[in-house]
Amino acid sequence: LAVVEMGANHQQEIALLCTIAQPTHGLITNVGKAHLEGFGGVAGVRKGKGELYDYLAQTGGTVFINSRDQTLTAMYRERLKALRPETTFAEAVFYPGDPVELLQESPVVMYQTNTGQAVTTHLPGRYNFENMLAALAVGHYFGVSDAEASHAVADYNPTNNRSQVVTRGSNTILLDAYNANPSSMAAAVQQFTRQPARRKMVILGDMYELGPESEPEHAALGKLVADGHFDVVVLAGQDMKWALGALPNAYYFPDKFSLHNWLMDHPQTDTHILVKGSRGMKLETVLPFL
């Protein structure tokens, strides 16, 4: 059994990767506002990611679908209707009976299995819980026991700036600086809003590859951050200036180097800090200053 992650920022890239990897089963975790410039908008993202379903429909494969995700369910049904009656294109049960209960989402996810086992992970946020459900569903389908699967999920400790919980002095940092788009940024900010903490700070960098949607999407993010009522808001990058309209008290820096200088002069203590931005911002470089 080989598990292959496919990434794309233009249409026809997933289609090409499918001809190379020749998958028999497939899973799309979500359809969000990623790489809008290359895909040509959200509809283009849906079409591009849907190329995996197209390939599996043509080859008689099986897809794993979160039945609570209306977009993915609709994408599957659209392709099912277009097929000849004799063609096999199956939907695997995402997870029978929903036996996993979310107990907490922060600072890290804890869930309970149907056997009563409480599993503590190293990953924060409800958005990561959805990914765990996907992993558990695929494992269950292929005969991995629930105990083995939960052990694997509990053992996974994120690295490379993805959903890392880092402690530096008295500060707790959610380092999610590998990449960012409007959907993932909104999920992270909303989760951080719900996270209990005495003092909270966000350090957010530009979201790249949005094309003409960059200004409205950064402005919308500013409104979302304002609703979070964080103690300190720090924005970095040329496009983040569009978020300032809703955040008059935010600290703004056109680049990460001026941000570094400010952080050196304004040390933080006893603070929970969310750090997130696109790969090109490399916001993990702020870590030594926190």
**Residue 8 lies inside a defined structural domain of this protein:** no
Give the range of the structural domain holding residue 195, as residue numbers without chain letter.
164-289
**What DSSP letter does each residue of 23-44 carry, written as one string?**
-SEEE-----S-SHHHHTSHHH
Condensed to tens digits (0 to 9), the pLDDT of residues 129-161 reads: 989 988 988 998 899 988 899 899 999 999 889
* Residue 48 confidence (pLDDT) above 90: yes
Condensed to tens digits (0 to 9), the pLDDT of residues 80-113 reads: 877 655 455 666 656 544 567 889 988 889 999 8
Residues 177 and 258 in one domain: yes
What letter represents residue 22's amino acid? Q
Residues 285 and 206 in one domain: yes
Residues 69 and 117 in one domain: no
CATH value at residue 195: 3.90.190.20
Kindly report the backbone phi and psi dihedral angles of residue 90, in degrees, each rounded to the nearest multiple of 5, phi listed first: -105, 155
Residues 199 and 180 in one domain: yes
Residue pair 163/174 in contact by the 8 Å Cβ criterion: yes
Residues 259 and 178 in one domain: yes
Among 195, 198, 183, CA closest to 108: 195
**Residue 7 lies inside a defined structural domain of this protein:** no
The structure's pTM equals 0.90
Number of domains in the chain: 3
Distance CA 32, CA 15 (A): 19
Distance CA 166, CA 107 (A): 11
| Beta-bridge partners for 91 | 63
Distance CA 262, CA 251 (A): 9
Residues 174 and 278 in one domain: yes
Residues 253 and 168 in one domain: yes
Residues 126 and 214 in one domain: no
pLDDT at 87: 54
Condensed to tens digits (0 to 9), the pLDDT of residues 234-243 reads: 999 999 999 9
Residue pair 192/204 in contact by the 8 Å Cβ criterion: no
Residues 237 and 187 in one domain: yes
Average pLDDT of the chain?
92
Residues 34 and 131 in one domain: no
Alpha helix locations (H) across 156-280? 182-194, 214-228, 256-265
